[in-house]
Amino acid sequence: MSGARPGRTLLRQEVVEGIKRYILDERLRPGDPLPTEPALCETLGASRSSVREAVKILAALDIVEVRHGHGTYVGRLSLSALVESLTFRGLLSPDDDFQVMADLVDVRELFERGMADRIISSLDAEELDRLDSLVATMRETGVGDGHGFVAADRAFHALLVAPLGNDLIGQLSMAFWDVYTIVAPHLQGFTHADEAETVAAHQNIVDAAREGDVPAFLKALGEHYAPVRRRIAEARARGESEG
C-alpha cells in the first residue's frame, strides 16, 4: 500500500495545527462550537478536503467532536487516544506485553504513593465511608462475579484521587487502570488467595487513610500491587520456559 504524498501529508498536518491554534487563540473550552467548514477553510486558507481530513484526525484524538447535523465542537480532551495506543501496544507486542503491564502497575502505584500525604488529608468522612462500601462490594462479589468486582475496584481508585481536585492525575490514573484491565487477560486468573489479599489490602488502605497513618497507607499500597506483580512475574516466567 502506497503512503500519502509528502506534500499532502505536510499540508494536512499544517491544517491540524491551524485548528488547534485557533482553539487556543480563541480560548475555546470543551463543548464550544467551532466555525463552520467554509469558515475554517477561509480562516486557515485551506481546501475543504484538507479541513475534513484534519477534523477526522483531531476527532480521533478527542480534540474535536463532530456532531452530525449540528457541527463541530471542541472535544472532551480526554486520554482515550492514550488508552487506545497503550492497549494496542500491549496486545500487538507479545514479546514485551508483560513489560507493558509491569510499567502500568508501576505508574499507577507511583501516582498513589507520591500523593499519599495529600490523599489522606483530602479524604473526608463521607468519602472514606464510600471507600469502605466499595471494599464491601468487592468482598461480597468476588472476582468470580467479574464486572462487579472490577467496577468496584476501579471506582475505589477513582475516588481515592478524586479529592485532590487534579483532573489530569484522575484521568491518567484511570487511563492506566483501563489499559491494564484490557491487557490483563493475558495473565492467569486470580486465585482465591489473591482475591483475599487484594480485598484486605484495599481495606487496609481505607483504614490507614482514616487514621491519617501515611506509613501504613504506603505499606497497604505495596500489599495491593503485590499480587499483580506476582502474576506478571509468573506469566513472564511461563512464557520464557515455553519459548
pLDDT, tens digit, for every residue of 112-138?
899 999 999 999 999 999 999 999 999
Mean pLDDT for 4-14 is 63
87-121 pLDDT per residue, tens? 666 555 545 667 777 887 888 888 889 999 999 99
C-alpha dist (Å) from residue 218 to 109, 122, 179, 195, 212: 10, 16, 23, 20, 11
In this predicted structure, which of 17-31, 57-71, 188-202, 208-222 has the lowest mean pLDDT?
Answer: 188-202
Q: Which DSSP symbol is given to 191?
A: P
Pick the CATH number of 80-242 from 3.40.50.150, 1.20.120.530, 3.40.30.10, 1.10.10.10: 1.20.120.530
Mean pLDDT for 8-31 is 86
Q: Where are the domains of the chain?
A: 6-74, 80-242
Q: Say what the pTM is.
A: 0.66
Share of the chain above pLDDT 70, in %: 79
Q: Which residues contact 182 (CB under 8 A, 6 or more apart)?
A: 87, 90, 91
Q: Which helix (H) or strand (E) holds 72?
A: strand 71-74
Domain 6-74 has CATH 1.10.10.10: yes
> What pLDDT sits at residue 77?
72
In this predicted structure, which of 117-131, 177-191, 209-223 has the lowest mean pLDDT?
Answer: 177-191
**Among the listed residues 172, 156, 243, 166, the one whose alpha carbon sits nearest the alpha carbon of residue 204:** 156
